[in-house]
A and B are shown apart, each in its own frame.
Chain A
Amino acid sequence: KAGVTQTPRYLIKTRGQQVTLSCSPISGHRSVSWYQQTPGQGLQFLFEYFSETQRNKGNFPGRFSGRQFSNSRSEMNVSTLELGDSALYLCASSLLAGGAYEQYFGPGTRLTVT
């Protein structure tokens, strides 16, 4: 069974630009969550989607948004990039929504904002 895939794996953007990251969950998984990981703040929850609906949202500004398609694939968008948005963005999928269900993480997208 194929794992969670994320594209692109690496990305360099400049301040003020916007970026879209993509996540393909494991086949059959309907829940997709997004996390931001930085050395200073650790792993922080961004949002979770289940059956195309946002179920939960972390404490991030409105510049961070996401969506989920009918095939469970998900995208997250960051507008007006800031230097502090440089991070590893991780996507995780699970069979059902809910924090305690086993989550399968992708390899991440390394975003660098210059």
Chain B
Amino acid sequence: LAKTTQPISMDSYEGQEVNITCSHNNIATNDYITWYQQFPSQGPRFIIQGYKTKVTNEVASLFIPADRKSSTLSLPRVSLSDTAVYYCLVGENSGYSTLTFGKGTMLLVSP
């Protein structure tokens, strides 16, 4: 399983764009990159997934460079409710792969 490295914490203010970068140097050819968000005492929630280049949905954008050794989750115009832990995971869509959650990035959004 490819290991991921991401910052332990980040601070931001309401209305700003937040970019969280995740490093996954030994990502395999069949691996996808997935981001989850977790609020205290709740289960994680899927945010976005990508394989290469750029993916955008109504919540976030995911930028993946050509070498795929890193990825950046971009949250546009954050609000206080975006304060949460964000996990970057790498894994393949095979029946025997599992999700390995690291420590995640604690994002604190202030007014």
Contacts and interface: CB of A to CB of B under 8 A. Distances in A.
Where chain B touches its partner, the secondary structure class is: loop
Interface of A: 4, 33, 35, 42-45, 48, 50, 55-56, 58, 88, 90-92, 96-108, 110
A58 B43 contact: no
Contacts of A45: 98-101
Q: On chain B, which size bracket covers the interface?
A: 20 to 34
B43 A92 contact: yes
B95 A100 contact: no
26 contacts: A35-B101, A45-B98, A45-B99, A45-B101, A48-B98, A56-B97, A58-B98, A88-B41, A92-B43, A97-B95, A97-B96, A98-B91, A98-B95, A98-B97, A99-B92, A99-B98, A100-B31, A100-B34, A101-B93, A102-B49, A103-B44, A103-B99, A105-B42, A107-B43, A108-B41, A110-B41
A55 B95 contact: yes
Given A99-B92, A100-B31, 12 more contacts: A33-B99, A43-B87, A45-B101, A90-B44, A91-B43, A99-B91, A99-B93, A100-B34, A100-B49, A102-B46, A108-B41, A110-B41
A95 B26 CA distance: 27
Given A42-B103, A42-B104, A50 B95 contact: yes
Contacts of A110: 41
B102 interface: yes
A45 B41 CA distance: 17
Interface string B13-51: 000000000000000000110100000011111100100
Contacts of A99: 89, 91-93, 97-100
Contacts of B93: 96, 98-101
